[in-house]
Amino acid sequence: MTSRAIVRSAAVITALLIGGSLAACSTASNAEGGSSSSTDAATATSAEDFGGMDALVAAAQEEGELNVIALPETWANYGKIITGFEDKYGITVNSASPDASSAEEIQAAENLQGQDTAPDVFDLGTAVALDNLDKFAPYQVETWDDIPAGNKESTGLWVNNYSGIMSIGYDADALAEPKALDDLLDAEYQGSVVLNGDPTQAGAAFAAVGSISALNGGGVDDFGPGIDFVSELRDAGNLLTVDPTPATIASGETPLVFDWSFNNIAAAADKPSWKTTVLEGPAYVSFYNEAINKDAPNPAAARLWQEWIFSDEVQSLYLEANAVPVRADALQQAGSVDESLLEAATFGTSSDDWITPTEDDTAAANTLLGERWADAIK
């Protein structure tokens, strides 16, 4: 089994490896000299290209809007993150299709290319991000040096932002807590087991199959045992092919969900009987990826959003929602991390149990899913 263990001490979380343009010109003030200069925001690779952060903020405020996609308010604290951006900078955030998959984010950018409603930024699972590098604009945020080298593409085409632990959420009023993977084949879980989306398109579902594979004797480079187990769930009548949402969880329609720990924990707000567990064994951990649409209709606002995402404030908001921020090391060194929140975000797992795919692992797993997934769930 190929895996990459994540070494974490009481003070440090080390790096995890992932897990026709519309060029707009913005007039930005020079932060040092006070003069104005014309900046091509669509080609800017850092705030320095605008003349500094103040000038970037001014250019983004001149645009006045930011288009985001696939950011549910309950996912990793994005409700607070979006509101905080609007309040701090006075820029309207247009949030489209919050429940879209990573693949649908890219499809929306292609369908809306050249239009004012196209997404400015992406939040993507690893497999989709690596397949679409040609759609991203390179950008290095001011906190670039705090982000470990393994958590970013060298020019800033993608940068890891946050992660979670792959977990099982379940309705404790309807189901017993599963203690092992094979428990899910029992009759008690008839028509109950759900993945969060299609693993060929959605990062959370991709990670769920990776987690199942690892728990079923496979590894992050071979999803075969995971696909085989999902087939067993189907044959037992226990697989439910419904995309879970907070509403389906609250109603009882999706009583057991493989999803990131931060999502399952958040679901308890609307469903008090909803509990979250991480099965004993390999714990699947993989970062999501922040990227700027190279054809962003609001290119300055897109770059300011990137700065916002990797600020101390937002990295702490991820942690508040039980997600592990990529800049955890820097926050800890600055003494601004609540260690109890960090322990909750890692869900009590040991770093010895953590696994995450390399780029090659992701490519191999994605190919196998493309070949076998449709048959596995027929």
Stretch 326-342: mean pLDDT, rounded?
Answer: 85
DSSP 1: -
pLDDT tens digit sequence for 134-165:
999 999 999 999 999 989 999 999 999 999 89
CATH of domain 166-284+353-376: 3.40.190.10
Distance, CA of 365 to CA of 356 (rounded, Å): 12
Work out the burial of residue 297: count CB atoms within 10 Å of its CB; fewer than 13 is exposed, 13-18 middle, 19 or more buried. Answer: buried
Q: Which of 97-106, 232-241, 347-356 has the lowest mean pLDDT?
A: 347-356
The chain-wide mean pLDDT, for the chain, equals 88
Q: 97: phi > 0 → left, psi -120 to 50 → alpha, else beta; which?
A: left
Q: What is the pLDDT of residue 35?
A: 35
Q: What is the phi-psi region of residue 30: left when phi exceeds 0, alpha when psi lies from -120 to 50, beta otherwise? A: beta
What residue segments make up the domains of the chain, in order of their start? Answer: 25-163+288-343, 166-284+353-376
Sorting pLDDT into bands at 50, 70 and 90, what band is 334? Answer: confident
- Does residue 244 contact residue 236 with C-beta atoms inside 8 Å? no
Render pLDDT for 286-330 as a digit per residue (tens, 0 to 9): 899 999 999 999 999 999 999 999 999 999 999 999 998 999 888
Element (H, E) at 25: strand 25-29
CB 265, CB 276: distance < 8 Å: yes
The model's pTM is 0.79
Question: pLDDT class for 184, splitting at 50, 70, 90?
Answer: very high
Q: What are φ and ψ of residue 219, in 5° steps?
A: -155, 175
Tell me if domain 25-163+288-343 and domain 166-284+353-376 are identical in fold.
Answer: yes
pLDDT greater than 50 at residue 24: no
Helix (H) or strand (E) holding 93: strand 92-96
Nearest to 366 by CA among 177, 125, 123: 125
* Model confidence pLDDT, tens digit, residues 29-60: 343 333 344 679 999 999 999 999 999 999 99
Mean pLDDT of 191-204: 95
Higher pLDDT, 364 or 346: 364
The encoded tokens of residue 244 equal 């879970």
What is the CATH T-level fold of the domain 25-163+288-343, as seen in this structure? Answer: D-Maltodextrin-Binding Protein; domain 2 (3.40.190)
